[in-house]
Amino acid sequence: MDTAIRYRRIDAFDKVTAPSWDTIELAPLEDVRAEQERNLVTQMAYLKENSTFYQQRFAEAGVEFDDIKTIEDLQKLPYTVKTEIRESLAADQPFGLHRAADMGDIVQMQASSGTTGSPAYIALTEKDAESWQEMSARCFFANGVRPGDMVLHAFSMAKGFVGGIPAFQAVQYMGGIDVPVGADGGVDRLLRALADTRPRCIIGAPNFVIHLAEKAPEILGMEASELGVERLIVGGEPGGGIPVIRDRIEKLWGAKCCEMLGGTDLGMAYWAECDEQSGMHMVSMDHIITELLDNETGKIIPFKEGAKGEMIYTAIKREASPLVRFRSGDFIEVLGTSCGCGRTGPKIRCTGRTDDMLIVRGANVFPSAINSIVGEMAPETNSVMRIVADFEGHTTQGALKVIVERGPDRDPARDAELKKDVETRLRNALVFKADVTIVAADTFEKPGVAKVVFVLREFPDLP
C-alpha cells in the first residue's frame, strides 16, 4: 500500500488551462442537485451512526434521519445556531458534543476568531482536511490562482485562523507555492519577501492589502504596481465586494482583485469570484447545501436574482464537526444565476453579518454599507470610518454616531461642511440619521493582523 504523504493533488498541473478546478462547478443544476442529495443521504446515515448531538436534536424535532432525502426535507429540521455550538463546546471540551468522529481520527484543529468569547475549536479528520483543501482550491482557481504560481501569504498565520494554515495547505494542494510570511510577519518583511520572490498572486484582507501597497514606496522605493503582481485574492472582512475599495486595490497594485468567502465552521472558503467580477459563485455545492432564509418572513426562498437573506448551511461531506442547517449570520444578496465563466453556482455579494446589523429608528443598517459610502467620498474622506454603537443591543432611536477621517489634503477648517455632506449622503443612501464626527487622516490604526472592526461600543479618546 502506498503510504506516502502527498501535499499536492496528483493531477494539479493537468488543470492549468481548465475552465474550472472541478467539473461539478460547470454542471447543470439538476445534476448538481442529484449529487447533493446522494451526499445528503450518506451524511444523514453517518450522523445517525455517529452523532449523539444530532441524534438528540432530530429526536426532539420528531424526525428520523431516514426521512431526510431531499433538499426540501431539510426544512423539517430545526436550525443549528451559534449559541448551541458554544454550549456544546463548553459541555465537552475541546471539540464539543457535536464531535462525530473518534479522537484518534482527528488530525487537525482550527479555531474561530473568538469575537464573542473563547474561540470555537473545529476538529478535522484526514478526509475533512482534504475536503477543505479541495473547496479552497476551487475558490483560488476561480479567483485566478494557477498551479505553479507563487502566492504571497498576507493573511494572519497565527491563532488557528482559517486564512493561515488551511489557506497555505490549499495553495500547496493546488500546485502553488505559498510564500508563508503572513500578516504577523509585519509589513516590512512581507514587502521585502514580495520584492525578492515576485509572486504572481497575493492573498489577504482587503484593507491590509491596501496598506501594503501604500507602504511599498517607503519600504521598497517603488510603487506596488511595479512589483509584477497580477492577482489580489481578498476575504476575511468586507471590502473586496465594495466597488470603491476594489477599485482602490486594483489601481494601487495594477492587478485584478477577486473576492472569496468562507467560515471556520464549514471550511476555509467555498464562495469565490471569477474573472467576470460579478459576484461570488458557490463552487462547492457537492460539499455544502446552502439555503437562503428570508429573515422577515422566516421562510426559505429561492436563489433568484435580487433575493436577499441569511445563508443556512448543511455540510454533506463532513466527519469530525458536522453541522446541519447552520445559521451562518452572513446576510447576502443574489446578484445573478448565470455567468460567462460557465459556473452554475449562484452569484452573491455578502452585504454584512446579521449579528453586526444595527437598527436605527427602524432602518436596518450594515456597517459595510456605511464604509462603502464613506469610501466613495474620497479624497474628501480618507475612506476610513468607525461607528460608535454606545447603546444597549443593536437598536437605537437616536442618531447613529459615525467617526470619519478627513482626506489627508483637506483643510480642517472645512470640517463642518464635510460633516454635513457625509450625513446627507448616509441619509439619502441608507435612510438613517447620522451624527458625524470628523477627525484627522490616520487617526485610527492602520490595518494589521486583526480584522478591521467597524463598530466600537464606546466613544474613543481622540487627539
Give SS3 for 282.
strand
Instruction: Name the E strands within 339-456.
Output: 347-353, 358-360, 363-365, 381-388, 395-396, 400-406, 434-439, 455-456
- On whether the 358-456 domain is CATH 3.30.300.30, my answer is yes
Q: Compute the distance between CA of residue 236 and CA of residue 349 in angstroms, rounded to an integer.
A: 13
Torsion angle in degrees (nearest 10) through CA of 90, 94, 97, 100: 160
Rounded mean pLDDT of 131-153? 98
Query: What percent of the chain is modeled with pLDDT above 70?
Result: 96
Q: Outline which parts of the chain fall under CATH 3.30.300.30.
A: 358-456
Residue 205 identity = A
Helix 165-173 crosses helix 126-143 at what angle (to 10 degrees)? 70
Which residues belong to CATH 3.40.50.12780 in the chain? 13-353
pLDDT digits (tens, 9 = 90+) for 359-408: 787 677 888 789 888 988 999 999 899 999 998 877 888 899 999 999 99
- The CATH number corresponding to 13-353 among 3.40.640.10, 3.40.50.12780, 3.40.50.150, 3.20.20.70 equals 3.40.50.12780
Residues in the chain: 463
Please give the DSSP secondary-structure letter assigned to residue 118: S
- Angstrom distances, CA of residue 60 to CA of 53, 57, 64, 117, 326: 11, 5, 10, 28, 17
Section 20-28 average pLDDT = 98
Report the DSSP beta bridge partners of residue 350: 332
Mean pLDDT score across all residues of the chain: 92
What is the Cα Rg of the chain in Å? Answer: 22
Residue 205 predicted with pLDDT over 60: yes
Tell me: pLDDT of 249 over 70: yes
- Give per-residue pLDDT as tens, 148-194: 999 999 998 887 888 999 999 999 999 999 999 998 899 999 999 99
412: left (phi over 0), alpha (psi -120 to 50) or beta: alpha
d(CA 237, CA 210): 13
**Predicted model pTM:** 0.85
Parallel, antiparallel or unpaired: strands 381-388 and 400-406: antiparallel
Helix/strand/coil for 119 = coil
Report phi then psi at 448, rounded to 5. Answer: -140, -130
Q: Which of 348, 313, 306, 269 is nearest to 71 (CA)?
A: 313
Measure the CA–CA gap between 350 and 330, rounded to whole angstroms.
7
Distance (Å) of CA 353 to CA 22, 309, 316, 365, 403:
29, 10, 24, 11, 21
Residue 87 and residue 65: Cα distance in Å, rounded?
23
Q: Report residue 443's pLDDT band, with 50, 70 and 90 as the boundaries.
A: very high
Rounded to the nearest 5°, which phi and psi values hold at 326?
A: -85, 125
Cell matching residue 330 = 452572513
Closest CA to 367 of 277, 239, 261, 209: 239
pLDDT in tens, 47-99: 999 999 999 999 999 999 999 999 999 999 999 998 899 899 989 999 999 99
Q: How far is CA 463 from CA 40, 60, 408, in A?
A: 56, 56, 16
Beta pairing partners, 259: 234
